[in-house]
A = this chain, B = another copy of it.
């Protein structure tokens, strides 16, 4: 019997996944036990062929979702609204769905999982978090047998790349951003990457799986890296510290706190050396201190590889579901020491452990402070903050 797959989108990730499925066809078929082929690809411009010369493009989603021979749809568009409709209709038509789209997966996680369950099909999304890193599948398994009480990660290659270059080359934020945009490492509108929106969506997915409970995008606190300047980098570098945009959620007595914000790390930290566009995830549980995963966070073959690992799991009937317990409470009580940089004449009314004037600025290390209180008191324009995770 032939298993027919459809792709929605044929950009960087789609091309990578297509290439891997083609090149590893016989290996995949050995483990799946059937012939496997990509039958149709949804794309706006259909006057193209695949790398191996096949004209299998359509611009009409109905041609895919109504095709009874297609049992698996791989969604790799970027758009939130149309992808929601695609995935919903695919699951309702009893087709397995794999998505690389963190926006739609994080927003409709619970709905899609229930819909897949109801229709007896699988819904997987390994490629939506951490690029090449196999994190979703192991995390699901770990969350069954271990009490996972904390998950954190560097999940956005663009922002990590910018911070690495500032740190290593002594260039300003605007210089490295401009450079990254020219090199294609950053979008012309970098908001979602540098303000932590992309990272937040991935944390929503990781936290939901880790804690076996529904975590929503709007539950997660967020502060990005766009306010960082040379003073911050120089000061931290002089102390052999690094700043990273960290996603982190912690579960304490059935209430979780989840935040995406810059953190200050020292060299003993497992994520201190995550540089450039790499991603890393660390999970903490009762059965061990932590597990760390690291790999490329994006790219055609790395992300395509994650897609195809889901394809195999779906087709051999091994996809793991997520059991969500509705009782999970979002507390978002975060008390920590913070690095804060403000104009030197700004008066910050929090207890501090240390304080230093550098040129036009003052930098602090606060005592343990409520994050909420700190932000209230930071009522100035030109500031930067980062949580000490040391």
Q: Is the CB of A144 within 8 A of B27?
A: yes
Interface string of A282-317 (1 = CB under 8 A from B): 000011111111111001011011001100110011
Q: Is the CB of A301 within 8 A of B286?
A: yes
Smallest CB gap from A293: residue in B? B293
Is A134 in contact with chain B by the CB < 8 A criterion? yes
Is A12 in contact with chain B by the CB < 8 A criterion? no
- Cβ-defined partner of A291 (8 Å) among B31, B141, B267, B293: B293
- Cβ-defined partner of A296 (8 Å) among B133, B286, B289, B299: B289
Smallest CB gap from A283: residue in B? B295
Smallest distance from the beta carbon of A240 to chain B beta carbons, Å? 12
Copies assembled: 2
Interface of A is mostly: mixed
Smallest distance from the beta carbon of A382 to chain B beta carbons, Å? 34
**Residues on B with beta carbons closer than 8 Å to the beta carbon of A20:** 145-146, 287
Smallest distance from the beta carbon of A157 to chain B beta carbons, Å? 13
Q: Is the CB of B28 within 8 A of A145?
A: yes
**Residues on B with beta carbons closer than 8 Å to the beta carbon of A132:** 287-288, 291
Given contacts A31-B320, A145-B312, A318-B318, contact A133 B291 (CB under 8 A): yes
Chain A positions within 8 Å of B, measured between CB atoms, are 16, 20, 24, 27-28, 30-31, 132-134, 137-138, 141-142, 144-146, 267-268, 270, 273, 286-296, 299, 301-302, 304-305, 308-309, 312-313, 316-318, 320-321, 323
Q: Is the CB of B295 within 8 A of A294?
A: no
**Residues on B with beta carbons closer than 8 Å to the beta carbon of A313:** 141, 318
- Cβ-defined partner of A287 (8 Å) among B267, B270, B302: B302
| Distance between Cα atoms of A177 and B162 in the complex (Å) | 44
Q: Is the CB of B312 within 8 A of A287?
A: no
Smallest CB gap from A286: residue in B? B301
Q: Is the CB of A296 within 8 A of B288?
A: yes
- 11 A-B interface contacts by CB (under 8 A): A20-B146, A31-B144, A31-B320, A145-B312, A267-B273, A273-B273, A288-B301, A288-B305, A292-B292, A292-B295, A317-B317
**Residues on B with beta carbons closer than 8 Å to the beta carbon of A270:** 273, 294
**Residues on B with beta carbons closer than 8 Å to the beta carbon of A24:** 144-146
| Distance between Cα atoms of A381 and B251 in the complex (Å) | 56
- Which 8 A-B pairs have CB atoms at the shortest separation, nearest pair first? A318-B318, A292-B294, A287-B305, A287-B301, A132-B288, A288-B302, A291-B295, A134-B138
**Residues on B with beta carbons closer than 8 Å to the beta carbon of A30:** 323
- Cβ-defined partner of A305 (8 Å) among B146, B294, B296, B320: B146
| Distance between Cα atoms of A286 and B132 in the complex (Å) | 12
**Residues on B with beta carbons closer than 8 Å to the beta carbon of A299:** 288
| Distance between Cα atoms of A377 and B152 in the complex (Å) | 50
Q: Is the CB of A309 within 8 A of B31?
A: no
Smallest distance from the beta carbon of A296 to chain B beta carbons, Å? 5
**Residues on B with beta carbons closer than 8 Å to the beta carbon of A308:** 145
- Cβ-defined partner of A309 (8 Å) among B142, B296, B301: B142
- Cβ-defined partner of A28 (8 Å) among B27, B144, B304: B144
Smallest CB gap from A300: residue in B? B287
